């Protein structure tokens, strides 16, 4: 009898320990979003819901490695459709990177300011706290769209981001409009922005919400993808900033009250971006509100900022490809309240806090301003949570596009942590930057300096008013030609390094004495120092995308400066020369 009682008690314990209360949704395939939801205590869009509750879920992959992922309050679980402001659904998203058997353990707490507590008391556990379970993840889907077949884009300790499948990422992005999320189709967004020119780009298989909302903004994503653009920079929070209408809350001052339906709708757009191969760059603040939270609450790292970072990481940290930008034009002070300049120590602390919330090795950057200074980056070199920088310069001067990009790439490596350096705002005051100048001094200058990508910026307020991306199609095409040059020629750009100016005319990139790229901003004829060997030479027109061959290979008897020939035509214009060892 005693033995039977022991076995019954053990069976009860096992049942309780492994009771799986989570509802699991998603394809359950590697590289694709998996959602776990629980029914828990009732909550609503009020401060105590987001401050006093905390959901953390520990996931253990088939190799035994564990990762803690933050969760969030999801209202009725379908707020994007229902516009519900309350409910009892609590949710977490996982991006599984390995096929096989996974396990989870939910940790759900309630206490005063539990969401941002530095230490947790297990006595705070309530409701489904302790729930455990298992699920099977199938291998990745080769034909999955966009980034869903590539895995997670991560920082791997070098100057270029790499996907789980081993491929590298060369960014070509849109920096304007930064108010992309000021879309009238989102709940709680007082805007007339509808992107009517891109309704034609929406497709029947694309997601929509509430009877057809979302077609314009999803059409923008489709259009950019078809142009070969693979990134878009925009603000997640511009309360009291330039646009003033994009923020994750129910109002510009309701910074502890997150808008459940709006955030669900944002998520649908971001998921579509990922499936389209378009990386969002989440800019968490801007120059005008860089100290917004601290101005409201005091101190140097406000609790409201911590909750904001946690909510954004919980809702969007699973995305396959993201740039997390601590702030636009950080450190540039125009007025001493919301726009008060944050310090280097604050920049470090903010990034460190965000890094701890994100389950993967993300690209975390910050943006400089104005366009003639980049001093804020000095205090972030070396042992820092930053894995890259979002650089602003002046599109008219190659000093910013080439010299400063190359400088920060080299300095970060010398300090032991190579940065992913991208030219995210080649600043222009006219609406349209001069295409020839921009192509030479911004686009190709940054690439030849070893930069990991470029975004194009449009000035004169167009960064706030653009609704028709077709107006800038010539820029998208020019960027796509540059990206295609590296990809179509199978150039390992992630391994190439800028050459010494004495070794080539123009700007050069080299790969271990095997492949060379020479960019001639002023055209004419090219020269480059080559070691002994046999080389094929090709001329590429960065304006039209045409490639010309010089014919038979060139024999180089010993290391010397080699004449590469003259541009096939339009000698006064810029050209690219590819030299490949045979």
Q: Which residues in the chain show pLDDT less than 50?
A: 1-19
CA dihedral sign, ordered 36, 355, 320, 47? positive
Homologous superfamily (CATH) of 17-137 is Immunoglobulins (2.60.40.10)
Q: CB-hemisphere CA count at 13 Å for 105?
A: 10
What does each C-alpha distance from 390 to 1, 260, 363, 366 come to in angstroms?
70, 30, 10, 6
Distance between CA atoms of residues 124 and 263, nearest Å:
27
Structure tokens at 301: 């790292």
Of 209, 276, 251, 233, which is closest to residue 424 (Cα–Cα)? 233
**Dihedral angle at the C-alpha atoms of 342, 346, 352, 356, nearest 10 degrees?**
-80
Q: Residue 301: which residues within 8 A CB-CB, separation 6 or more? A: 294, 346, 349, 350, 353
pLDDT score recorded for residue 550: 81
Concatenated DSSP letters of 277-344: T-EEEEE---GGGTTHHHHHH-SSS-HHHHHHHHHHHHHHTT-SS-EEES-TTTT--SSSSTTPPPPH
Asked if the domains 17-137 and 497-581 are classified in one and the same CATH topology, the answer is yes
- If you count DSSP H runs as helices and E runs as strands, how many of each does the chain have, helices first? 14, 25
Give residue 309's Cα distance to chain centre.
15
Cβ–Cβ contacts within 10 Å for residue 99, how many? Answer: 17
pLDDT of residue 194: 98
Backbone torsions φ then ψ of 216, nearest 5 degrees: -65, -50
Please provide the DSSP assignment of 462-510 as one string. Answer: HHHH---GGGGHHHHHHHHHHHHHHHHTT--TTT-EEPPGGGBSSEEEE
pLDDT at 233: 98
Q: Give the residue from 571, 562, 568, 577 showing the smallest Cα distance to 524.
A: 571
Does domain 497-581 fall into CATH 2.60.40?
yes
Residue 568 burial (10 A CB sphere; 0-12, 13-18, 19+): middle
Whole-angstrom Cα distance, residue 85 to residue 264? Answer: 12
Tokens 């008897």 — which residue? 557
Q: Of the candidates 294, 313, 314, 316, which has an alpha carbon nearest to the alpha carbon of residue 305?
A: 294
Distance from C-alpha of 461 to C-alpha of 554, rounded to nearest angstrom:
51
What angle (nearest 5°) sits at the alpha carbon of residue 307, between those of residues 417 and 392?
Answer: 45
Q: With beta carbons less than 8 A apart as the criterion, state whether 313 and 354 touch.
A: yes
Closest CA to 328 of 279, 385, 285: 285
Question: 169-286+321-355+363-467: which CATH architecture?
Answer: Alpha-Beta Barrel (3.20)
Query: What pLDDT score was predicted for residue 13?
Result: 34
Measured distance CA(579)–CA(155) in Å, rounded: 29
CB-CB contact of 462 with 430 (8 Å): no
Q: How high is the pLDDT of residue 461?
A: 86
Helix axes 260-276, 215-226, angle to 10 degrees: 20
CB 393 within 8 A of CB 353: no
Q: In this predicted structure, what is the pLDDT of residue 513?
A: 79
Q: For the chain, which residues make up each domain, given as ranges?
A: 17-137, 169-286+321-355+363-467, 497-581
pLDDT the model gives residue 580: 95
Max alpha carbon distance in the chain (Å)? Answer: 98
């Amino acid at each position: 009898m005693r033995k039977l009682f022991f076995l019954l008690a053990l069976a009860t314990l096992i049942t309780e320990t492994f009771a799986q209360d989570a509802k699991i949704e998603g394809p359950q395939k590697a590289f694709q979003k998996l959602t776990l939801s629980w029914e828990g205590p009732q909550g609503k869009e009020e401060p105590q819901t987001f401050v006093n509750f905390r959901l953390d879920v520990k996931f253990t992959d088939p190799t035994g490695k564990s990762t803690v992922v933050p969760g969030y309050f999801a209202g009725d679980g379908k707020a994007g459709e229902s516009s519900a402001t309350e409910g009892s659904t609590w949710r977490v998203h996982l991006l599984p990177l390995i096929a096989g058997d996974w396990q989870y353990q939910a940790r759900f707490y309630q206490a005063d300011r539990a969401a941002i507590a530095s230490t947790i008391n297990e006595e705070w556990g309530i409701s489904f706290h302790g729930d455990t379970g298992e699920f099977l993840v199938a291998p990745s889907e080769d034909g999955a769209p966009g980034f869903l077949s590539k895995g997670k884009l991560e920082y791997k300790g070098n100057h270029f981001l790499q996907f789980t499948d081993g491929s590298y990422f060369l960014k070509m992005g849109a920096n304007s409009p930064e108010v992309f999320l000021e879309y009238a189709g989102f709940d709680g967004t007082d805007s007339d922005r509808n992107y009517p020119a891109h309704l034609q780009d929406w497709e029947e298989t694309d997601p929509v919400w509430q009877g057809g909302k979302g077609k314009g903004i999803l059409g923008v994503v489709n259009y950019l993808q078809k142009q070969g653009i693979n990134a878009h920079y925009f603000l997640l929070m511009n309360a009291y900033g330039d646009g003033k209408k994009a923020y994750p809350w129910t109002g510009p001052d309701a910074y502890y009250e997150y808008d459940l339906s709006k955030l669900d709708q944002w998520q649908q757009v971001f998921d579509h971006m990922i499936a389209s191969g378009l990386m969002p760059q989440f800019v968490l603040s801007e120059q005008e509100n860089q100290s917004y939270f601290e101005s409201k609450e005091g101190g140097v790292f406000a609790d409201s900022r911590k909750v904001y970072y946690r909510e954004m990481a919980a809702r969007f940290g699973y995305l396959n490809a993201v740039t997390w930008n601590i702030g636009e034009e950080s450190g540039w002070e125009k007025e001493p309240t919301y726009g008060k300049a944050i310090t280097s120590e604050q920049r470090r602390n903010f990034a460190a806090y965000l890094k701890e919330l994100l389950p993967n090795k993300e690209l975390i950057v910050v943006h400089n301003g104005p366009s003639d200074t980049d001093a804020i980056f000095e205090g972030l070199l070396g042992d820092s949570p930053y894995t890259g920088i979002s650089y602003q310069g002046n599109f008219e001067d190659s000093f910013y596009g080439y010299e400063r990009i190359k400088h920060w790439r080299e300095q970060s490596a010398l300090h032991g942590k190579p940065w992913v350096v991208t030219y995210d705002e080649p600043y222009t005051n006219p609406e349209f930057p001069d295409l020839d100048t921009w192509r030479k001094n911004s686009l190709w200058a940054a690439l030849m300096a070893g930069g990991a990508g470029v975004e194009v910026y449009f000035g004169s307020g167009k960064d706030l008013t653009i609704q028709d991306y077709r107006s800038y199609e010539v820029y998208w095409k020019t960027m796509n030609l540059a990206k295609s040059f590296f990809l179509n020629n199978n150039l390992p750009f992630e391994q190439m390094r800028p050459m010494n100016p004495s070794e080539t005319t123009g700007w050069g990139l080299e790969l271990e004495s095997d492949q060379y790229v020479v960019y001639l901003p002023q055209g004419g004829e090219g020269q480059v120092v080559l070691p002994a060997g046999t080389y094929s030479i090709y001329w590429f027109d960065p304006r039209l995308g045409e490639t010309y061959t010089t014919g038979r290979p060139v024999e180089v008897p010993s290391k010397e400066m080699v004449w590469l020939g003259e541009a096939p035509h339009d000698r006064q214009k810029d050209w690219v020369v590819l030299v490949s060892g045979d």
